A and B are shown apart, each in its own frame.
Chain A
């Protein structure tokens, strides 16, 4: 204890000048961070930004080289100091359920952690039933941990971390790889414990769209803080507007816009441009000018999302760092390939049983060449099994289908030659170099030497791998690895590309670049792309989506169509900015507003009639003496669509069981 009296009591964590080195590599470089009591503080950043190192050091399980990390006023610099603060801390390490015991049941895991922390039995029973209720795990008390889905494991991990009611919870990427519904449950517990018990939480995430849930946050990149403050303060660092519109031909429009704007994305039929302009008229005029004579339709301007701001910050960081190029402007085209058209995938009534369990139940859908088709669903919904059937790894129990023009049941070999596949793990050989990986896949697909050489040159240029050719794959940044994996999947010019959660662990710029590649492949070459993802903000890029639940497709259509459908069912999303949000939420819930939830300092509710409800909301809060700063309607996100659909289905399934 160096300065016991000097620390103001409300500061729970104070990190200053923190440096962590792994050999020569500086994982964290002079980082400062202050977390106050009762706040949910976010650490956001891509893989390798240094989030885990900071969190481990604060939890007292990692040594560091320079600077200081103080927790509850105690300098955590030795094992003994760490032991002093550990009883007041809960730490959830990164990875799904890594702190749990697979052979113990849900309840046994909780009991174990509680007894380890000497929680009295009556108290344990009370907390356990409350935590199991909010996470909706109470039905699975007796189930072994190893039989839980990823999302459930993570919720159980959180329960075990919180069972001794720590004053400070340190949660390292608790929502990575967790389906959106479980993610909402997760945030519900955190919000409740923060409000009821005054718990402080330090949470890291790679999901930009979760940033709004934090009171304050730091955005990390390469071990340094790029921006920090409240979400609103970070947002105001890069002022501007986001303009969404349609134009055609889309690729030509993108090319023209790119001359002028740094952030141009195509989301299915839509284009999404971040402009520095602050007035909507000026912003649209600027875009119209850039497009020259191309049409400009269905225009909409919005406040930028945090992700737009973060990408702008990252782009600025890269410009300032010489030697790190923001990526070459790749105009490479494969020589002499003809445009593909027709149906790429036809699935008819596909069924797959594993023993008595039906993993996929009468799934039918079509995919055209040149289409990007997204398959969404929680873990265990059957997405992966569908992909495995279409790629010929698993034969269907019943049903039929054609992939790349060949019959699934009889022409498995032909299908395999015409499709490309890229998995979550990127499926590269990390001990081989970039070139060796490409050459291997060229050999696997039986390419002759000359052809292989041509494709290799194309892949290196297309995926922006120039300069990395002879590097070991294991040493490449995730974004580069991902593009290499895509390149390897494309080595034989496939007609259909299957991507199974291909963007985990890649930073926002890398992800945008990846999507740009995908839309070029689809638009220019007519490759059909089937993609599964947990990242619902990414699903916006798809032309069409299918939502899977319990082995069936329960909704299908364009993103806009799906959103409209859900808006009809549950209403529009309203966001309320008020002081004392915790208190305000109570009043909003008491007044009977549907779907009320806390998002950081903002309250979200659903409304079928926003005009009328805005007045009611203002009335309710004014009567309670709470000042309302703003009430606005927002577009539903695909995550809202997903969660609302799945929750409705889960409720229906439960009713069926109880009936």
Chain B
């Protein structure tokens, strides 16, 4: 056979296997429905529903002063961050409600608050915050401090006879210019994060399940005695499943992210899809390795949960990568998702190109190659 004929035969084999995978997937209606849901409705739900920002924190007030100033301060705790839960006269009642978890904050204003402010005496208000939910509690405390601080300085300036604008004293003022997400729309971050999550889950699960199903049904033996190489068997699955995932991703991008949340695509769409393909291939490597170890679909499901779970939690979409302990960061250098997050936000929101992203791209290439190599080695070995 000439080299050309060999290449044609090789291609024919890969095409036959890939087409088979697509046919099989197209007959699996429940899986298809799940895929459709994950990349459409579920993106809408999580984009609109999940938020890390402080919203509707229940605030209880014990105002022992009932003055102009105390009312002014209370009114600065505003929606959407705080919601006024009522006023009480007995501070012990406030503590009880905090303990029961019915409110998150208790604001206590002492008697003679207004008088003290007017006469320039020192005075203090107390805020008790339930920080059982640490991020929420801490930001509630932070906001409260800022509100009280601003109120204090403004009252101070006013009593000195100056309005804020006329204040000629030297001070540092901060002015924010928000880049990349100018309206600070958190839904952008959350909806993209969800799409990344789904892409990753399916990239691990689909090829792994397809391979394990062949082991369960015994069809893999038939493939092993055929002239197919392990690479053709495994790569055909990844190829078919990547195609399906890319289609699902386009659905999420053009069916949800753009029209519903108005997420922009600042960089090159082509680059984004190309790098997504790379991510899917690399991540699929994990699934294939798991599939060479697992004996059945239940096992492979559990194993992918082990891999995907930490990957989703620790790669930087659920919590910031930089805030994690050093060793977690080291472990996560093996997570393709970690690089894919940089790439996605980079391309979509910052308009980055390969010149900026070559590092994560290189890391993914290395990781993907290593995983595929290992998976193929395991695949060959397990039948001997």
Q: Are B24 and A444 in contact (CB under 8 A)?
A: no
21 A-B contacts, Cβ less than 8 Å apart?
A393-B225, A393-B383, A416-B225, A421-B226, A423-B218, A423-B221, A427-B221, A428-B219, A429-B24, A431-B28, A432-B23, A440-B20, A442-B16, A443-B12, A443-B16, A443-B17, A445-B227, A446-B9, A446-B12, A446-B13, A448-B12
User: Once the chains are docked, how many angstroms separate the CA of A453 from the CA of B96?
Assistant: 81
Interface string of B251-274 (1 = CB under 8 A from A): 000000000000000000000000
13 other contacts beyond A427-B219, A440-B19, with CB at 8 A cut-off? A416-B227, A421-B222, A424-B218, A425-B217, A427-B222, A428-B219, A431-B23, A432-B20, A439-B16, A440-B16, A443-B12, A444-B226, A446-B227
B15 at the interface (CB under 8 A from A): yes
Q: Are B24 and A431 in contact (CB under 8 A)?
A: yes
Q: Are B223 and A444 in contact (CB under 8 A)?
A: yes
Tell me the B220-237 residues at the A interface (CB within 8 Å): 221-228
Partner of B16, one of A391, A393, A419, A444: A444
B92 at the interface (CB under 8 A from A): no
User: Once the chains are docked, how many angstroms separate the CA of A425 from the CA of B220?
Assistant: 11
B27 at the interface (CB under 8 A from A): yes
User: Once the chains are docked, how many angstroms separate the CA of A392 from the CA of B384?
Assistant: 10
User: Once the chains are docked, how many angstroms separate the CA of A448 from the CA of B12?
Assistant: 8
Q: Are A443 and B226 in contact (CB under 8 A)?
A: no
Of all chain B residues, which has the CB nearest A500?
A: B221
Tell me the A200-215 residues at the B interface (CB within 8 Å): none
Of all chain A residues, which has the CB nearest B219?
A: A427
For B20, what are the chain A residues with a Cβ–Cβ distance below 8 Å? 429, 432, 436, 440
Q: Are B225 and A392 in contact (CB under 8 A)?
A: yes
Q: Are A431 and B27 in contact (CB under 8 A)?
A: yes
Quick one: given A416-B227, A417-B227, A443-B15, are A436 and B23 in contact (CB under 8 Å)?
yes
Of all chain A residues, which has the CB nearest B218?
A: A425
Q: How far is the CB of A560 from chain B (nearest CB, A)?
A: 32
Tell me the B88-137 residues at the A interface (CB within 8 Å): none
- Most chain B beta carbons < 10 A, residue from A445, A446, A447: A446
Of all chain A residues, which has the CB nearest B8?
A: A446
Of all chain B residues, which has the CB nearest A419?
A: B225
Q: How far is the CB of A230 from chain B (nearest CB, A)?
A: 40
User: Once the chains are docked, how many angstroms separate the CA of A394 from the CA of B384?
Assistant: 5
Q: Are A444 and B227 in contact (CB under 8 A)?
A: yes
A395 at the interface (CB under 8 A from B): yes
User: Once the chains are docked, how many angstroms separate the CA of A432 from the CA of B217?
Assistant: 14
User: Once the chains are docked, how many angstroms separate the CA of A394 from the CA of B227?
Assistant: 14
Q: How far is the CB of A553 from chain B (nearest CB, A)?
A: 22
Quick one: given A430-B217, A443-B17, A444-B17, are A391 and B225 in contact (CB under 8 Å)?
yes
User: Once the chains are docked, how many angstroms separate the CA of A485 from the CA of B279?
Assistant: 37
User: Once the chains are docked, how many angstroms separate the CA of A568 from the CA of B259?
Assistant: 87
Quick one: given A413-B227, A416-B226, A423-B222, are A443 and B217 in contact (CB under 8 Å)?
no
For B27, what are the chain A residues with a Cβ–Cβ distance below 8 Å? 431-432, 472
A-B contact count (CB 8 A): 82
Q: How far is the CB of B268 from chain A (nearest CB, A)?
A: 35
Q: How far is the CB of A470 from chain B (nearest CB, A)?
A: 13
User: Once the chains are docked, how many angstroms separate the CA of A431 from the CA of B227?
Assistant: 23
Q: How far is the CB of B32 from chain A (nearest CB, A)?
A: 13
Quick one: given A391-B225, A393-B225, A446-B227, are A427 and B218 in contact (CB under 8 Å)?
yes
User: Once the chains are docked, how many angstroms separate the CA of A417 from the CA of B225?
Assistant: 9
Of all chain B residues, which has the CB nearest A388?
A: B383
Of all chain A residues, which has the CB nearest B217?
A: A425
User: Once the chains are docked, how many angstroms separate the CA of A385 from the CA of B218?
Assistant: 16
Tell me the B184-236 residues at the A interface (CB within 8 Å): 217-219, 221-228
User: Once the chains are docked, how many angstroms separate the CA of A645 from the CA of B13?
Assistant: 46
Q: How far is the CB of A98 from chain B (nearest CB, A)?
A: 15
Quick one: given A431-B28, A443-B16, are A421 and B221 in contact (CB under 8 Å)?
yes
For A392, what are the chain B residues with a Cβ–Cβ distance below 8 Å? 225
Q: Are B224 and A393 in contact (CB under 8 A)?
A: yes
Q: Are A444 and B218 in contact (CB under 8 A)?
A: no
Q: How far is the CB of B45 from chain A (nearest CB, A)?
A: 31
Tell me the B16-40 residues at the A interface (CB within 8 Å): 16-17, 19-20, 23-24, 27-28
Tell me the A390-429 residues at the B interface (CB within 8 Å): 391-395, 413, 416-417, 419, 421-425, 427-429
User: Once the chains are docked, how many angstroms separate the CA of A423 from the CA of B383?
Assistant: 15
Interface string of A199-242 (1 = CB under 8 A from B): 00000000000000000000000000000000000000000000
Q: How far is the CB of A385 from chain B (nearest CB, A)?
A: 11
Q: How far is the CB of B342 from chain A (nearest CB, A)?
A: 39
User: Once the chains are docked, how many angstroms separate the CA of A445 from the CA of B225?
Assistant: 11
Partner of B219, one of A393, A395, A429, A498: A429
Tell me the B370-384 residues at the A interface (CB within 8 Å): 383-384
Q: How far is the CB of B296 from chain A (nearest CB, A)?
A: 14
Q: Are A444 and B13 in contact (CB under 8 A)?
A: yes
Of all chain B residues, which has the CB nearest A387?
A: B225
User: Once the chains are docked, how many angstroms separate the CA of A617 from the CA of B12?
Assistant: 70
Of all chain B residues, which has the CB nearest A416?
A: B227
Of all chain B residues, which has the CB nearest A436?
A: B23
For A436, what are the chain B residues with a Cβ–Cβ distance below 8 Å? 20, 23
For B384, what are the chain A residues with a Cβ–Cβ distance below 8 Å? 393-395
Q: How far is the CB of A382 from chain B (nearest CB, A)?
A: 15
Interface string of B26-68 (1 = CB under 8 A from A): 0110000000000000000000000000000000000000000
User: Once the chains are docked, how many angstroms separate the CA of A331 from the CA of B239?
Assistant: 41
User: Once the chains are docked, how many angstroms separate the CA of A416 from the CA of B224?
Assistant: 9
Q: How far is the CB of A420 from chain B (nearest CB, A)?
A: 8
For A442, what are the chain B residues with a Cβ–Cβ distance below 8 Å? 16
Q: How far is the CB of B228 from chain A (nearest CB, A)?
A: 6
For A431, what are the chain B residues with a Cβ–Cβ distance below 8 Å? 23-24, 27-28
For A429, what are the chain B residues with a Cβ–Cβ distance below 8 Å? 20, 24, 219
For B24, what are the chain A residues with a Cβ–Cβ distance below 8 Å? 429, 431-432
User: Once the chains are docked, how many angstroms separate the CA of A436 from the CA of B17?
Assistant: 11
